[in-house]
Structure 1
Amino acid sequence: MGFTKPDLPKVDPDTFLQKPLMERMRILAVDWAENGFGSPRMVHTIYIVKLVLFFALGGIVIATVTSGLPAFWHVSEWWNQPIVYQKVILWTVLLEAVGVAGSWGPLAGKITPMTGGIRFWARPGTIRLRPWRWVPLTGGDRRTRFDVVLYVALLVSLAVPLLAPGVHSASLSQALPDNTSGLVDPALLLAPIVLLVLVGLRDKTIFLGARGEQYLPALVFFAALPFVNMIIALKMLIVVVWVGAGFSKFGKHFANVIPPMVSNSPSMPLKFVKRAHYRDFPRDMRPSRLANFMAHGNGTVVEIVAPLILFVSTNMWVTVAAALFMVAFHLFIISTFPLAVPLEWNVVFAYTTVFLFLGYPNWDGYAPWDMSPPWLALIIAAALLFFPVLGNVRPDKVSFLPSMRQYAGNWASAVWAFAPGAEEKLNRVTRSAKNQIDQFVEYGYEPKWAEITLQKTAAWRTMHSQARGLFSVLLTQLPDIDTRTVREAEFVCNSLIGFNFGDGHLHDVDMIRAVQREARFEPGELVIAWVESEALGSGVQHYKVIDGALGVIELGTWKVADAVEEQPWLPNGPIPLQVTWSLSGTSPAGRRRDQDHGHGALA
């Protein structure tokens, strides 16, 4: 792999593209296992420079300069200053809301341009997705000028407290008499809190893009709680995020996440280590014992046990050890450059670990039992746990982000299959980026290699449990699947709405309906296999087959156990599917619209 050249699969493009779909998936999955996405090292360097200079250094400089603190190189003077932490959070929310933090750049499917976010969200006529249909005054699927004004106002409201000097806080002075920098003015936080809620009720894409499920509670704590209670509540917040994510990794899905993630890590150049994460490379690509240990030993256990130790420990050395574990945990995630590239989020959580648990340790009066009054802790805990609990029991009701199921492998996801030439119709949709195939070509890829590179993202999906079901659905539905253009939905979604973080709720039936309004697919031209996350303990996943023109044409389930036992390329054929409902007709192109059935058309 060169600094500026990608590491392309060792195939003849003409011969490769004539092979059956699942044979192509096998070849590319095996290639991924050794080489990952194959991105040029220049790409990772861009991310590192952005992370260190723009995000970390830029945020620290802004926080210290606007708070009257010594220059950023005097780390001992600012690392545990409460106002610095508050402004780091504001800086992070602002960058996430603009779209230059998570889900940014080539690794997130944004090649030219590299930024989604603001390029879509500040433009009337782009696709807007509401979180719940029952919320009044949220109808429609396109952004209006009102939505754009609301979004821009949110950005301004975040910038104002970020740049404003601190104000005196009686509760802070009582706890830290020597502190002179104060806190962010609580009054200045009311606007971003209200605007983030209002934007979120009309536009879930922006809310999730700003990572509102994690940072909105922090802003509320900054604005509403006295200092000691604020610190304890912030500890509760981060522990819920950690433990929720750790809990979600129990089950059959997560072990399948580790091998392709390690294979894609530029910090892991040793191919024999990458191969060791597969049961019998290249014949058996299921997770090995090493991958299972990495998933549930170093992953799940650490993400649950270490945070709980931090939460209750009153021993300095135990606390330091647990904090180092969590910092190392987040640095490891950064080193793998996961495709959603949540690098800034991991830096913030590493800093948060040090700031909260070492800067304000339990033995100094910042333990959970020090909250006053004690019943307030119960109310905050219940509020923080509401969406994680609901989202695990009813994943169809809550995005996997508020459900705290980050990178657990248990995702709502999809694969899109276009009839020859039909993908080009997506360029009719109002947006700020072309189809990824066109972006790769404009970047300099030959068209055939651009196609193979995009097919590699579909192969990456096959390495995860839910894809064995998704591809089984397509193989069952589409006799002509080998002639179709098959795309990983997360990449397609990025070009259509400017953001995706692995959440299939962002490219569900509502989004496809919005796309169809402008793309105008004919029946059978776009067929999508879409699946919901597994509900806690259910053992099954519920899938939908969606025709771009006709709507939902089939509903069913598959057993998770069947999916995880198969190879990515399904050598034994489709896994068993239990069809629970099907629209009349024999093929997607020939199915007629059923006016009487509740699963209506998208047209």
Structure 2
Amino acid sequence: MGFITPNLADFDLKEWRSRPYLQRIRPLAQHWAENGFGTPGAVYVLYLLKIVGYVLGGLAVTAATPGLGPIGDVASWWTEPIVYQKIVVWTLLFEVLGFGCGSGPLTLRFVPPVSAFLHWLRPGTVRLPPWPRQVPLTRGTRRTVFDVALYATVITSAVWLLLSPATSGPVPRENAVGLIEPVRLVPLALSLALLGLRDKTVFLAARGEQYGLTLLVFCFPFTDMIIGLKLVMVALWWGAATSKLNRHFPFVVAIMISNSPLQRVKWVKRKLYRDYPDDLRPSKVSGFAAHTGTVIEYVVPLVLLLSDGGVTTTAALTLMVVFHLHIMSTFPMGVPLEWNVFFIFSALFLFGHYAQIGVSSLDSPLLAALLLVCLVAVPVLGNAKPHLVSFLPAMRYYAGNWATSTWCFRRGTEEKLNAHITKAAGMAKDQLVALYGADLAELMLHKGMAWRSMHTHGRALNGLLSRALDDTEAYDLRDGEYVAGGVLGWNFGEGHLHNEQLLDAVQERCGFEEGELRVIMVESQPLHRQRQHYRIVDAATGRIEEGYVDVRDMVTRQPWLADDDASIPVRAVDGSARPVAAQAVTAHE
């Protein structure tokens, strides 16, 4: 891996391009196992500088609060309750501008590395309302001046809160500064909610399910507020742990550690797989690491919630800090780096300094009801009916159980995205061509497809290609994240941002002919069922086929669906969702 040049697989590009698609995936998946994405070292430095900017920026705007003090004296004021409030608002602002999750080259953003705020401040770009038929005045997919004004209001309201002084209130005696006056939280909370009804993309980017809820918790009395904030954090940890109780997560662990710039010993990375390079299913080492992480996310937050300080709390906090530092060190695709920094700060602030405030002291029935809905009901619904709830409010983080898609453009038609869709930045392919040329750009885009193929759902997407296309080699295949990132201005593993709703918006603008664009969509696995729903949709004519794939059939196969393991059973259903027949898809059908 060079400092400014990517580490790419070493083979003849012309010969590689002549292979069938699945055989083009094979060497790239094998290369990922040892080298990850092959990201240049300078990119990791850029991400590290961004983390430093997030931390120093948060400290700077917080230190400007009257009554606190300079950054150099942070040890004397970091435990003030208003500090946590300001850091939450700062983090929300950082994310909603696009500087946090879903930024930079690891999310296929190269030049510029951040473009979300430019996209959302531009009328005419694509927006996706979550419930256009149910919520009045939200229909349509074109961003208007009103949407831009709402987005600007969110930004302005967040800045206004960061500049707000504290107001006196019932806070511990040792804290003299106070809290943000609750009425000041209304403009941000209200504008974020209204914007979310007009465009779910921006709401998800702002991490509204976490920071929006936190804003509401800030409106309650101090003790209830601290308890509520603790319960939010524990729910996030437990939600993530619960979502990992599946057969997908060991695949995620192997792929993440393979991408870690700190893990440079190749024989260690090979141990993550059963028999590198021919068998890239996760090994027992990856399984052990995955299950260990799940146990940590269940047990340690419970210890923090029930302990009231001392050695037990210190040990638990130390373990959670190391846990999140490890996640950050792998630089996972989507790069939720600042989010993990926030978790570390929250753990130290809420469960360290305020360890003595126990959950039994909660007095507000309204807060309890709010938390039950947001932290229990929504995640339960999201795990049971994943097609109804984004994986973010469902708290299914890192689990490898995401809705995904592959967009198949008949060669030459992909250019319609540039010709007919308003965007703030070029598609990833255009950015890569400008940096590395056409051949290397295509190789790097295939590397992203190889990454997807290494996950269980990637096997399903690859296995469904022959059901969707008459000739796979006549198409350019793109991951749905690639399309959403360019067309919507942001992407972060949310497959519901590149499902039929986005396809309809793209078709409205581009007018693809039948067969020019087909999309294979695979939904997340419900917690109580061992299968995943799929749809194959043509942009011009609509749904071609839908059905189910069984998880057990995905975890036994290689990313490239080898000749001796090519059958992928599916259960197709007709338009009324009645079973038709159990069938098999082969890589060479």
Cα shift at 1:73: 2.7
Query: 2:214 pairs with 212, 218, 228, which one?
Result: 218
Establish whether residue 264 from structure 1 lines up as the match of residue 263 from structure 2.
no
Give distance in 2, aligned partners of 1:117 and 1:369: 42
AA in 1 matched with 2:14: D
TM-score, normalised via structure 2 length: 0.95
Aligned residue pairs: how many? 572
Matched with 1:291 is: 286
**Counterpart residue type for residue 98 of structure 1:** L
Give the Cα separation in 2 of the matches to 1:483 and 1:241: 44
Deviations 1:128-167 (Å, cap 9, x if unpaired)?
Answer: 1011231222111111111111111111011101112211
Deviations 1:69-102 (A, max 9, x none): 2222323212211111111110010111111111
- Opposite residue 83 of structure 2, the aligned amino acid is V
Q: Is the 8 A contact 1:433 1:496 kept in 2?
A: no
SS state of the match for residue 281, structure 2?
Answer: strand
The AA in structure 1 aligned to 2:315 is: A
In the TM superposition, what is the alpha-carbon distance from 1:500 to its structure 2 partner? 1.0
Cα pair 2:128 2:200 within 8 Å, conserved: yes
Indicate the SS of the match to 2:429.
helix
Look up the match of 2:190. 194
Query: Equivalents in 1 of 2:125, 2:393: separation in Å?
Result: 24
1:421 match: 412
Cα–Cα, structure 1 residues 383 and 436, in superposed 2: closer, same or farther, change >3 Å?
closer
Q: How does 1:295-310 map to 2 (within 5 A)?
A: 295-297=290-292, 299-310=293-304
**Does residue 18 of structure 2 align to residue 27 of structure 1?**
no
Paired AA for residue 83 in structure 1: I
Report the equivalent of 2:4.
4
CA separation in 2, counterparts of 1:409 and 1:516? 29
Contact 2:251 / 2:400 at 8 angstroms: preserved in 1?
A: yes
Given that 2:7 and 2:39 are in contact with CA atoms closer than 8 Å, whether structure 1 keeps it comes out as yes
2:586 maps to which residue?
none
Paired residue for 1:581? 574
Q: Is the 8 A contact 1:310 1:319 kept in 2?
A: yes
Query: Hey, what does 1:248 align to over in structure 2?
Result: 243
Counterpart in 1 of 2:510? 519
1:436 partnered with 2:432: no
Q: Distance in 1 between matches of 2:294 and 2:139?
A: 40
- Name 2:386's counterpart in structure 1: 395
- The gaps in structure 2 that reach 5 residues or longer are 577-589
Indicate how the Cα distance of structure 1 residues 375 and 195 shifts in structure 2: closer, same or farther if over 3 A, else same.
closer
Who is 1:50 aligned against? 50
Alpha-carbon separation, structure 2, partners of 1:147 and 1:115:
20
Structure 2 partner of 1:127:
126
Can you list the C-alpha shifts for 1:160-185, whole angstroms capped at 9, x where unaligned? 0111221111x11xxx2232221112
The 8 Å contact of residues 7 and 40 in structure 1, kept in 2 or not, is answered as yes
CA distance in structure 1 between the partners assigned to 2:365 and 2:125 by the alignment: 47
Alpha-carbon distance change, 36 to 499 in structure 1, aligned in 2, over 3 angstroms:
same
* Residues in 2 aligned to 1:325 and 1:482: alpha-carbon distance in whole angstroms: 49
Residue aligning to 1:488: 479
Output one character per residue of 1:226-282: Cα deviation in whole Å (capped at 9) or x when no partner: 111100100000000110010000011111101111111111111111111001101
Structure-2 residue corresponding to 1:164: 164
Structure 2 CA distance, aligned partners of 1:17 and 1:520? 29
- Residue 50 of structure 1 and its aligned partner are, at CA, apart by 1.1
Q: Quote how far apart the aligned CAs of 1:309 are.
A: 1.2
Matches of 1:91 and 1:162, distance apart in 2 = 7
Q: Which residue of 1 aligns with 2:460?
A: 469
- Structure 2 match to 1:590: none
Amino acid in the other structure paired with 2:574:
W
> How many angstroms does 1:579 deviate by?
0.9
Instruction: Note if contact 1:83-1:182 (Cα within 8 Å) is conserved in structure 2.
Output: yes
The answer as to 2:29 corresponding to 1:36 is no
Q: Which residue of 2 aligns with 1:593?
A: none
The list of structure 1 runs, each at least 4 consecutive aligned residues, that deviate by more than 3 angstroms after superposition, is: 373-379
Percent of paired sites with the same residue = 45
Whether the 8 Å contact between 2:81 and 2:175 is mirrored in structure 1 is no
Hey, what's the Cα distance between the residues in 1 that align with 2:28 and 2:526?
30
Residue 503 of structure 1, aligned match among 494, 500, 503: 494
Q: Kindly state the Cα deviation for residue 475 of structure 1 after the two structures are TM-superposed.
A: 2.5
> 327-336 or 459-468: which moved more?
327-336
Q: Would you say 1:208 and 2:207 are equivalent positions?
A: no
Structure 1 counterpart of 2:315, from 321, 340, 350: 321
* Deviation at residue 373 of structure 1 after TM alignment: 4.9
CA 379–159 in structure 1, closer or farther in 2 if over 3 Å, else same: closer
Superposition deviation, residue 66 in structure 1: 2.2
The Cα of 1:573 is off from its aligned counterpart by 1.8
The CA deviation at 1:320 is 1.3
Separation (CA, whole Å) in 1 of partners of 2:369 and 2:90: 29
**CA RMSD, aligned part only?**
1.4
Is residue 67–residue 83 contact of structure 1 (8 Å, CA) maintained in 2?
A: no
1:14 to partner: Cα distance: 0.9
Q: Structure 1 length as normaliser, TM-score?
A: 0.93
